[in-house]
Amino acid sequence: MDRILIVADSTSSMDNERAAKEGIELLSLSVIIDGVEYKDQIDISTGELYEQLKSGAVPSTSQPNTGYIMTKMQDWTEEGYDQIIVLCCSSDLSGTYSGVNLAKEQLEMDNITVIDTRTIGAPILDMAITAKKMAVSGASKDDIVAMVKHKMDHNFSFLYPENFKQLSRSGRLSTLAAGVAGMLKIKVLLALKEDGTQIDKFEMARTESKIMSSIRDHFAKIGVNGINYKIYLAHGNNSPLAKKFEEYLKLHFDNIETEIVELPAVLTSHAGLGSLAIQTIIKN
């Protein structure tokens, strides 16, 4: 039986403690604040990022540098793994997938499989945990890859920013658009396109109840149910909002399994404090 290592990048809503608990290796993206680069979950925690945002910092993010990735790969090799599966966030949202492939080629490591999951956040967490359980139970690399691809075809992600301040600061939304939306008190629901290429506007409404009903209706449309799907609610320092949406979704989807986690630092850097990602993925 092959010894298989499961790796997820730090857009996966995991901190080091959760990764260690699940037996998953974490590959850190970078958060840059005032010209200083911090490795996510190594040099800066999610809580420390929240404090920076509260103080008015305007962070940017970048993929892991090649030297760091190569060092990690060499460490994994020394640990004697037969196969290594690396789950990366959508290659249209980050260069991590390309960076890992470049490092793999330079080190000529044929036992590394790099997957562009075409998503971000909790769905990657879900894929990684399922992959680890399969690896422990003796599943082959091919079976694990097939499972990941199945989940890639059956997940959906919404992002509900509390306000547009950080989106406009980070360049994801123009200052004019943010100002107009703020004056009109419009609430905006964003969604990751199903091909993972970009996060775009899904719904605009004057009330939060309309935002919630739009999420409910779309989840129902794509077949979300309490038997086959799980819903994750990833918040940027806003657990009350996560719990509010959780209660609403549990009311409308009988026996649905939910989990509240923290929004990845790289997403919070752009979406801002108070934001909530509502993400669903097929269980098996």
pLDDT, one tens digit per residue, over 187-238 is: 889 899 999 988 888 988 999 999 999 999 999 999 999 999 999 999 999 9
Report H helices in the chain. 16-22, 46-54, 66-78, 96-107, 122-136, 141-152, 165-169, 175-183, 208-221, 239-252, 265-271
Q: How far apart are CA 283 and CA 107, in angstroms?
A: 35
Burial of 137 (0-12, 13-18, 19+ CB in 10 A): exposed
pLDDT: is 59 or 139 the higher one?
139
Sequence length of the chain is 284
Average pLDDT score over residue span 76-81: 92
pLDDT tens figures, 5-44: 999 999 999 999 999 999 999 999 999 999 999 999 989 9
Nearest CA to 125 among 5, 14, 251? 14
Q: 3-state class of 276 per DSSP?
A: strand
Distance, CA of 284 to CA of 273 (rounded, Å): 32
* pLDDT tens for each residue of 91-121: 999 999 999 999 999 999 999 999 999 999 9
User: Are the CB atoms for 282 and 126 separated by under 8 Å?
Assistant: no
Cα separation values, 55 from 58, 88, 170, 240, Å: 9, 30, 15, 22
Specify the pLDDT at position 188: 87
Token output for 264: 């990845």
Task: Provide the 3-class DSSP secondary structure of residue 217.
Answer: helix
- 197-204, Cβ contacts within 8 angstroms, sequence gap of 24 or more: 197/90, 197/92, 198/92, 198/93, 199/93, 199/159, 202/158
Nearest to 59 by CA among 159, 170, 158, 174: 170
Q: Exposure string (b/e) for 20-47, b if CB count within 10 Å is 16 or more? A: eebebbbbbbbbebeeeebbbbeebbbe
Query: How confident is the model over 139-183, as pLDDT tens digits?
Result: 999 999 999 999 999 999 999 998 666 555 544 444 434 444 555
* Whole-number pLDDT of residue 262: 95
Rounded to the nearest angstrom, the gap between the alpha carbon of residue 148 and the centroid of all alpha carbons in its chain is 15
Strand partners, 31: 38, 61
Q: Which domains does the chain have, with CATH numbers?
A: 4-152 (3.40.50.10170), 155-282 (3.30.1180.10)
Query: For residue 132, is pLDDT > 80?
Result: yes
**For residue 13, is it left (φ>0), alpha (ψ between -120 and 50) or beta?**
left
Please tell me which residue, 267 or 235, carries the higher pLDDT value: 235
- Alpha-carbon distances, residue 52 vs 49, 56, 239 (angstroms): 5, 7, 19
